[in-house]
């Protein structure tokens, strides 16, 4: 047994007017509870320090940059890092990162038990669009405010295991999990802000949205025999509902713990990293079963090309 | 609307002693019922003509080759092809293929409405092992009797749509669906023979086995916005139980029809191929969202390599 007691620290809504200090105080309170529960790792949502600002269309560079952090830790988050280090608890959370060169990323970091940042991930699968789309009841402007991540999908040795990160929409893409699976990942932590309605299909039932969320995290866990810890920002931000569904998924694909509210809530489970071994040694023993010679299109072709336009697949 | 009325033709068990003629008579009966129901396509299981012989350890080449077909159609299957052509119904089924060169594959074919074979697929992800494994309560010797498929994952224009095939264990691998998704696939048909118990873990509950089956076909459908038609050989073959679970999955990932028995049974659904458009144009618009520059490991690395042994992912 290699137990990592994880707290998936779901956060309720953050309104546009809420400042960083108020939000970090909530994160500190969740961390305090996790420490009482004897947790080793606390995972917070994507863009944990602010409202999900990509729903707002902005044209002023200053107005945009106000949502970004230029260093981490910074003054606002220092209390969180200090309590984490004092409690010997590793943490992971997402925030909007502005680099010294002025580049903008949707980023997550992970610390070790000493509160040192040992891992940084920048979101690769940015959903949404760049300009206002009048056909949508709400906007989702991630492609406007961020550039795609440039760090790949690394994994890190931490807490006696192999941990990886991804963010929100990354979880819908099997490539995300597989690239980490090929590095032996044992736990993937991810935060998300997912609207409760589909901006392309107002009639999509909320239950189907939650079904898709569970489907992709469960499949990603099972198909790579890894724990997945998926943490929501939930509830209604300035009139825009986000679904919850914070969940911890076993390497066999089953959900072992799930949030009950749309508010600040800890979902705790003691995850045995050795539970990843069975799947990795049997049905998902990649070395025994994968046939990379037939996967070429996955890395050579970005968009779909139907067969009349492509040579591949038209021979018969 | 581009409706394809599909019959997933689940087959009950085939005992070792049953001959091809007896089995094909059952397939013909299912085809007759599908014709009465106005179906356009009938999909049968993997290795539809015989028992799942890879559970038996054989050393005699003649004994092995007796399970293989050297041409298709052949005398035994001709009645099926003739009725399909007369009914203007496309069919797909699996069988053990021995080529003129003496190569052995776990194969599936697809016909057009005229009964002509227009597609051939050879199973790529062979599960199991090569020699008797005394630790297993039952054997699964696919790696002994077949070589991995050599045709990739092609798709074909058929029935006014873009159709693809895979077989059994292929459905657990996201690469299978993605390679076809990148060719615009609108319906993937697949047959399977899946033991109701895990030969590596006798205590694995049957419900989890079925959960994994549904999880992977639903994720594959959703993540590529394609119909998936998954057809079981079910029931107990010479004392060895196979689970059923024949299902038709909508491009939104939801199961729209499912078998109720472990016997010969038609599961029918009129599938609108245009229902694949929504997902392909929005959240799974590959051209807009995929980032192949970060997927390299998927095609460059077969087995998993933990980070202390690999350069990738150890920079931080």
Nearest to A178 among B298, B308, B310 (CB): B298
Asked whether A189 and A226 are in contact (CB, 8 A), the reply is no
Alpha-carbon distance values, A44 to A109, B59, B176, B194 (Å)? 10, 57, 33, 39
Count of beta carbons in the 10 Å neighbourhood of residue A21: 12
Q: Quote the CA–CA distance of B95 and B191 in Å, as a whole number.
A: 10
Write down the pLDDT at residue A315. Answer: 39
Tell whether B93 is within 8 A of chain A (Cβ). Answer: no
Task: Pick the residue from chain B with its C-alpha nearest to A112.
Answer: B316
Interchain pair B181, A304: CB under 8 A: yes
Instruction: Give pLDDT tens digits for B23-47.
Output: 999 999 999 999 999 999 999 999 9
Q: Quote the CA–CA distance of A149 and A216 in Å, as a whole number.
A: 21
- B195, part of any domain: yes
- B303, part of any domain: no
Tell whether A130 is within 8 A of chain B (Cβ). Answer: no
Is pTM beyond 0.95? Reply is: yes
Least confident of A81-85, A275-279, B311-315: B311-315
- B313, part of any domain: no
Six-digit token pair at A282? 């049997």
- A16, part of any domain: yes
Provide the residue range defining the domain that includes A275.
3-298
Length of chain A: 316
- A314, part of any domain: no
- B141, part of any domain: yes
Write down the pLDDT at residue B316. Answer: 39
Interchain pair B183, A215: CB under 8 A: no
Six-digit token pair at B146? 């077949």
Write down the pLDDT at residue B39. Answer: 98
| Beta bridge pairs of residue B230 | B190, B247
Asked whether B64 and B145 are in contact (CB, 8 A), the reply is yes
Instruction: Give pLDDT tens digits for A102-149.
Output: 999 999 999 999 999 999 999 999 999 999 999 998 899 999 999 999
Asked whether A105 and A72 are in contact (CB, 8 A), the reply is no
Write down the pLDDT at residue B315. Answer: 39
| Beta bridge pairs of residue A165 | A189
Report the CATH number that the domain containing residue B189 is assigned in CATH: 3.60.110.10
Q: 3-state DSSP helix/strand/coil percent for chain B, to nearest 5?
A: 30, 25, 45
* pLDDT at residue B3 is higher than 80: yes
- A308, part of any domain: no
Give how many domains chain B has, as a whole number: 1
ipTM of this predicted structure: 0.96
């Amino acid at each position: 047994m290699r137990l990592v007691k994880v707290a998936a620290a779901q956060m309720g809504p953050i309104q546009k007017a809420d400042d960083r200090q108020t939000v970090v105080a909530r994160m500190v309170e969740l961390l305090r509870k996790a420490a009482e529960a004897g947790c080793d790792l606390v995972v917070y949502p994507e863009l944990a320090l602010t409202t999900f600002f990509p729903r707002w269309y902005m044209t002023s560079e200053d107005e945009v940059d106000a949502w970004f952090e230029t260093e981490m830790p910074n003054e606002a988050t220092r209390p969180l890092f200090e309590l984490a280090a004092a409690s010997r608890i590793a943490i992971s959370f997402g925030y909007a990162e502005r680099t010294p060169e002025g580049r903008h990323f949707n980023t997550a970091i992970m610390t070790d038990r000493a509160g040192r940042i040992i891992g940084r991930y920048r979101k690769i699968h940015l959903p949404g669009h760049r300009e206002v789309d009048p056909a949508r009841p709400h906007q989702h402007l991630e492609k406007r405010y961020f550039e795609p991540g440039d760090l790949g999908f690394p994994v890190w040795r931490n807490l006696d295991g192999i941990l990886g990160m991804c963010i929100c929409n990354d979880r819908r893409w099997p490539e995300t999990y597989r690239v980490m699976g090929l590095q032996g990942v044992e736990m993937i932590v991810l935060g998300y802000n997912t609207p409760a309605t589909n901006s392309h299909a107002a009639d999509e039932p909320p239950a189907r949205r939650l079904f898709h969320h569970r489907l992709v995290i469960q499949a990603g866990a099972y198909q790579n025999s890894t724990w997945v810890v998926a943490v929501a920002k939930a509830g209604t931000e300035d009139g825009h509902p986000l679904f919850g569904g914070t969940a911890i998924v076993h390497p066999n694909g089953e959900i072992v713990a799930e949030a009950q509210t749309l508010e600040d809530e800890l979902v705790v489970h003691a995850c045995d990293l050795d539970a990843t071994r069975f799947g990795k040694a049997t049905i998902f023993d990649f070395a025994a079963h994968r046939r990379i010679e037939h996967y070429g299109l996955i890395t050579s072709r970005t968009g779909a090309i139907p067969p009349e336009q492509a040579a591949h697949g038209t021979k018969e």
